[in-house]
Amino acid sequence: MKYSIDDLLKSPFEKIKRISEEGYEYWSARDLYKLLGYSEYRHFLPVIDKVKEALSNINEEVENHIEDMLDMVQIGSGADRELDSLKLSRLACYIAVQNADPTKPNVAMGQAYFAIKTRQKELLEEEEKRLIQSEEDSKRLLLREQMREHNKQLADAAKGAGVNEPLDYAIFQNFGYKGLYGGLDKQAIHKRKGLKKSQDILDHMGSTELAANLFRATQTEEKLRRENIKGKAKANQTHYEVGKKVRETIKDLGGTMPEDLPTADSIKKLERQKRKELDDKNG
C-alpha cells in the first residue's frame, strides 16, 4: 500500500512524536510498541535488541539513539503510573519498524513514514551543508581580496620603515608568520599544511585563518605608520610582536591555532567560478 505525504503528516507516528527540552525529536518505546500492535511491552524488547545490534554494526553510538527514561503510563485501573521506557531517536525508530513483525498493524505505514521522513531530514541536512559551504566560500573570496589589498599597504608601510629589497620584505613577512604561527616560517607552514612550494599559503586558507592574517597585516601596517618605526630590524620585530599578539588573542578566546586549521582548496578555483558566473550573467 502506498501512502501520500498528507497521510504521513497525519500519521499516528507523527502524533506520538515528542520534543525534548533541548529541541530534539524522539519517540517513547512504550508509545511505539502499542502503535505497532504488540500486546505487551516485553514482547517489543527483542526488537530493541535488534536495533542496538544494527546501530553498532553501522558504527553509531547506541547511547546517542536509545536512552533510558521514565514514562507515565495508564494502568488497568485507569490510574497513571511511572514505568521504565526508552527514548528512541528517529534512526532508532526507523530500524525498529524495519525489524518489527510485518503482520502487526501499522508496521507498513511506520516503515513508509520513517523512510520518507528520514530522507527528508537527509535532504535538509545536505541543503544546510551546501548553504554553509556557500557562505564560507563567499567569506573566503572577500577576505582573500582584502588580504591582497592590505598586503600592498603593508608592503608600502614596510618600505617606509626601510624594508626596500624583495629579500628583505620576504624576511619581514616571515617574522609576521612566526609570531602568528608559533615560530613557523613560510616554508614550515607550507610543510605543516601539506602544500607545494609553488602554492600560495593565503590561497589555501579558510575564512577563519584568512581573518587572523588580515588582522595581523592591518595592525602591523598601522603600528609601523603610527609609531613611525624605522629600520629593518625594528620593522621585523614589530611584525613578529603583532603576529604573536594576534595568536595570544586567539588562544585567550579558546580558538584553534592557525597552523592547526584545515587546508582549504585553492581559492583560485572559486575565483574562476565567480568570474564565469558573472560572464554568464552579462551574456
Domain boundaries along the sequence of the chain:
5-105, 137-281
- Least confident range from 80-94, 217-231, 246-260: namely 80-94
Question: 130 vs 161, which has greater pLDDT?
Answer: 161
Question: How much is the average pLDDT of 256-264?
Answer: 95
Strand partners, 69: 85
Residues 6+ apart with CB under 8 A from 260: none
Residue 1 reports pLDDT greater than 50: no
Q: State the helix-helix crossing angle for 107-160 and 267-281, rounded to 10 degrees.
A: 100
pLDDT band at 214 (very low <50, low <70, confident <90, very high): very high
pLDDT band at 190 (very low <50, low <70, confident <90, very high): very high
pLDDT band at 202 (very low <50, low <70, confident <90, very high): very high
Q: State the helix-helix crossing angle for 90-99 and 41-57, rounded to 10 degrees.
A: 110
Q: What is the CB-side half-sphere exposure of residue 283 using CA atoms within 13 A?
A: 0
pLDDT band at 13 (very low <50, low <70, confident <90, very high): confident
Residue 149 reports pLDDT greater than 90: yes
d(CA 135, CA 137): 5
- Helix-then-strand count for the chain, H and E: 11, 4
Query: Mean pLDDT for the chain?
Result: 88
For the chain, percent of residues with pLDDT exceeding 70: 92
Question: 152 vs 116, which has greater pLDDT?
Answer: 152
With contact defined as beta carbons under 8 Å apart, do 71 and 28 qualify?
Answer: yes
Residue 26 reports pLDDT greater than 60: yes
Give the CA distances from residue 52 to residues 57, 62, 68, 97, 143, in Å, rounded to whole numbers and listed in that order: 9, 6, 13, 13, 47
Question: How much is the average pLDDT of 241-251?
Answer: 96
> Does pTM top 0.85 for this prediction?
no
Question: 269 vs 234, which has greater pLDDT?
Answer: 234
Question: How much is the average pLDDT of 164-189?
Answer: 96
Q: Is 97 exposed, middle or buried (0-12, 13-18, 19+ CB in 10 A)?
A: buried
Residue 78 reports pLDDT greater than 50: yes
**What is the predicted pLDDT for the residue at 132?**
66
